[in-house]
Amino acid sequence: MTTPHFPSRLPDVGTTIFTVMSALAVEHGAVNLGQGFPDFSCDAALTGAVTQAMQAGHNQYPPMAGVHALREVVSRKTEALYGRHYDVDAEVTITAGATQAILTAILACVHPGDEVIVLDPCYDSYLPSIALAGGVAVHVPLTPASFRPDVGKIAAAITPRTRLLIVNTPHNPSASVWTAEDMRALQEVLAPTRVLLLSDEVYEHMVYDGGQHQSSARFPGLAERAFVVSSFGKTLHVTGWKVGSVCAPAALTAEFRKVHQFNVFSVNTPMQHGIAAYMADPASYDGLSAFYQAKRDLFREGLAGSRLKLLPSSGSFFQCVDISAVSDLPDAEFCQWLTREIGVAAIPLSAFYADGFDQHVVRFCYAKRDETLREALARLRKL
């Protein structure tokens, strides 16, 4: 018998670069600074809270929108930090991680033929999600090297068919951070339009050097049209738990939940109860910027004397470097060589561009134990 052939919904999509580089790192015993996940444990009090939730019997389906206590935590935190109140029942939804939240938001509002503006380089789930919705991705580049948004170019890309704009701050992969001026300029551009906003803010608690995260929730003209996506996995060092949240006005949330209920329905119950109990104390996230800034500084200081040119890292837990003084290989080939020969895995920045634009820049993740970073630095200093 022959398996029936059918046209692929994602004919241009293969295995992600993160999976490829992680597998190569394992094969060659390399320090994996490629994929963005910590190699250290979360707070034992968090796993204890989840264990307690399981033992208390919280093991059946939760409400579709999420456990009420966790939605309350999200609402209180957002209001305290960004000054906007989201109704717990009508405007906050718990999701199976941020990637599911992004896909669900796109499926909820993008119809076949609608245009979605993405800012390159961008997280690799955006384009497949747009394709699955039948949308058309419209690419607007961030400024090369600085990775700053050009709001004028965004404005020029808006057409009558534009349904959605996706922004990400702090930014993956570049580690740049939007300023309040950037957000106000975007608010002004979108004001006369009906364009919706998908604001990917999973690194919201990782902004450095005294900076402040500029959530779309802070700006009324953005918040009224935005799906604001956050990640407990990134915030609490538990990326494998795949729990996130979306805050949005009631009308947007109603459409979001129509899709959410049929692609996941609900999210792991004891994890939600455990996170709610743990995050009732703001100390669970208050110190995160200082924690990761120390790791950033350790990593940057270790590379300061090398031939790798450090680019700014203002947020997230990534560090991009220019490899031009080290190699003239394309960035993807350089990352493979670096993994095999030097024993450190990184991600080529070209993987975040639809057209594979190569600036000779690669991305490292410093969300690692200090001893892991020191070992990687010792190897990288051989370059």
**Location of structure tokens 């703001």:** 282
CA distance 31 to 380: 10
Percent of the chain predicted with pLDDT > 90 = 92
Evaluate whether residue 1 is within a structural domain.
Answer: no
CA distance 134 to 124: 17
Span 87-98, pLDDT tens digits = 999 999 999 999
Please give the pLDDT value at position 2: 85
Please give the pLDDT value at position 149: 96
Q: Pairing relation of β-strands 318-322 and 361-365?
A: antiparallel
Please give the pLDDT value at position 5: 87
Out of 230, 264, 284, pick the residue that ends a domain: 284
Please give the pLDDT value at position 12: 84
Out of 254, 284, 314, pick the residue that ends a domain: 284
180 and 269 fall within a common domain: yes
Segment 39-60 shows an average pLDDT of 97
Answer whether 302's CB lies under 8 Å from 377's CB.
yes
Q: Pairing relation of β-strands 226-231 and 196-200?
A: parallel
Evaluate whether residue 7 is within a structural domain.
Answer: no
Best CA proximity match to 139, nearest among 129, 203, 156: 156
Q: Which band of pLDDT confidence, cut at 50, 70 and 90, is reported for residue 203?
A: very high
Segment 58-74 shows an average pLDDT of 98
pLDDT reading at 376 higher than 90: yes
Q: Which band of pLDDT confidence, cut at 50, 70 and 90, is reported for residue 134?
A: very high
CA distance 91 to 283: 25
pLDDT reading at 137 higher than 80: yes
Q: Which band of pLDDT confidence, cut at 50, 70 and 90, is reported for residue 381?
A: very high
Query: What residues make up the domain containing 291?
Result: 17-42+286-380
CA distance 183 to 151: 9
- The DSSP output letter for 287 is T
pLDDT reading at 143 higher than 80: yes
Segment 213-239 shows an average pLDDT of 98
Please give the pLDDT value at position 20: 86
CA distance 198 to 244: 14
317 and 230 fall within a common domain: no
Span 176-189, pLDDT tens digits = 999 999 999 999 99
Segment 296-322 shows an average pLDDT of 96
Residue 165: Cβ-neighbour burial (10 angstroms; 0-12, 13-18, 19+):
buried
Structure tokens at 121: 């380089």
Answer whether 147's CB lies under 8 Å from 173's CB.
no
Geometric angle at alpha carbon 264, from 258 and 269, rounded to 5°: 115
Evaluate whether residue 238 is within a structural domain.
Answer: yes
136 and 208 fall within a common domain: yes
48 and 146 fall within a common domain: yes
Q: Pairing relation of β-strands 318-322 and 347-348?
A: unpaired
Please give the pLDDT value at position 99: 97
168 and 292 fall within a common domain: no
- Could you give the dihedral angle defined by the CA atoms of residues 277, 281, 286 and 288, in that order, rounded to the nearest 10 degrees? -30
CATH of the domain at 227: 3.40.640.10
The domain tally of the chain equals 2
Out of 284, 315, 349, pick the residue that ends a domain: 284
Alpha helices by DSSP H, listed for 269-311, are: 269-278, 283-286, 288-303
Please give the pLDDT value at position 98: 97
308 against 145, higher pLDDT: 308
206 and 253 fall within a common domain: yes
Largest Cα span, the chain:
64
323 and 280 fall within a common domain: no
CA distance 300 to 119: 26
Cα 207 to Cα 227, 291, 309, 333, 366: the distances in Å are 21, 11, 21, 31, 14
φ/ψ of 91, rounded to 5, equals: -135, 5
Percent of the chain predicted with pLDDT > 70 = 100
Structure tokens at 169: 């701050």
pLDDT reading at 145 higher than 90: no
Mean pLDDT computed over every residue of the chain? 96
Segment 294-320 shows an average pLDDT of 96
CA distance 174 to 294: 18
CATH of the domain at 341: 3.90.1150.10
Evaluate whether residue 11 is within a structural domain.
Answer: no
pLDDT reading at 166 higher than 80: yes
- Which run of H or E residues covers position 235? helix 232-236
CA distance 314 to 339: 26
Segment 360-365 shows an average pLDDT of 97
pLDDT reading at 243 higher than 90: yes
Please give the pLDDT value at position 35: 85
Please give the pLDDT value at position 19: 86
